[in-house]
């Protein structure tokens, strides 16, 4: 296990064919779509129950936050004891969404390489901005989260592109999947791990083997699978 950065667990709800959303458009989302489908909706609360038992620090993206409607929420949120690390370059988060998040979470760590991000115009005591002038250095970020902010464990719940980046950089230690009894399809529908395709011989080391820890059969044909990620891929010559 790493000693200079937090221990990380990728935790997501996925279909049998590895889809983590129901479409490639932001207006569609597993959270709001699967709970409407007979044969799937009956067991989906088990995912949310398990989510409540994850680490007290969650890493996600501004795009996901915008997709679930954070920018448009007007209610007064109930304060959580969870810290959020949000990666947001575009930006996807607007001023209202940032204010909502600071009211909702214990501490918001906003990570960006966008010098014009609206977070810079806010003065919130529980928001820490981690800025990179060029590309975000994720190895440096994870070291910083532990060294400067004393974060020891992180649950990753981001999209397939960022998941791929973190996996390639050997920054994912464990995988915890709730497998929903469904097939979604769509060649552009986001999957657990997206990113660039493997095409060259020397890129095969980007494929990471997994060691199964538990396979728990849940109710209504759901499964909960947990794995350790084997960081160093051995290739036979």
Q: What is the pLDDT of residues 81-113, one digit of tens each?
A: 999 999 999 999 999 999 999 999 999 999 999
pLDDT in tens, 175-211: 999 999 999 999 999 999 999 999 999 899 999 999 9
User: What percentage of the chain reaches a pLDDT higher than 70?
Assistant: 100
**Mean pLDDT computed over every residue of the chain:** 96
Domains in the chain, please, with CATH? Answer: 7-229 (3.40.430.10)
Q: What is the predicted pLDDT for the residue at 24?
A: 93
Average pLDDT over residues 133-137: 97
Which stretch of DSSP H or E encloses residue 65? helix 62-67
The model carries a pTM of: 0.95
Angle at 114 between CA 112 and CA 117, to 5 degrees: 90
Residue 236's pLDDT is 81
Report pLDDT for 26: 87
């Amino acid at each position: 296990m790493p000693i200079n950065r937090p221990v990380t667990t990728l935790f997501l709800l996925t279909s049998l064919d590895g889809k983590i959303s129901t479409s490639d458009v932001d207006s569609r989302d597993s959270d709001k779509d699967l709970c409407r489908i007979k044969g799937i909706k009956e067991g989906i609360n088990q995912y949310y129950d398990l989510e409540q038992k994850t680490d007290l620090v969650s890493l996600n993206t501004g795009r996901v936050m915008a997709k679930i409607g954070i920018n448009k929420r007007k209610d007064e949120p109930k304060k959580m004891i969870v810290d959020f690390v949000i990666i947001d370059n575009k930006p996807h988060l607007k001023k209202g969404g940032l204010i909502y998040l600071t009211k909702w979470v214990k501490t918001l760590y906003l990570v960006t390489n966008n010098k014009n991000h609206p977070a810079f115009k806010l003065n919130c005591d529980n928001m820490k901005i981690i800025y990179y002038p060029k590309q975000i250095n994720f190895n440096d970020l994870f070291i910083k989260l532990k060294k400067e902010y004393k974060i020891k464990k992180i649950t990753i719940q981001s999209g397939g592109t960022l998941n791929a980046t973190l996996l390639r950089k050997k920054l994912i230690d464990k995988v915890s999947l709730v497998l929903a009894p469904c097939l979604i399809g769509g060649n552009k529908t986001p999957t657990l791990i997206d990113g660039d395709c493997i095409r060259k011989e020397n890129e095969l080391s980007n494929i990471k083997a997994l060691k199964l820890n538990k396979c728990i059969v849940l109710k209504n044909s759901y499964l909960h699978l947990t794995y350790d990620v084997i960081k160093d891929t051995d290739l036979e010559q």
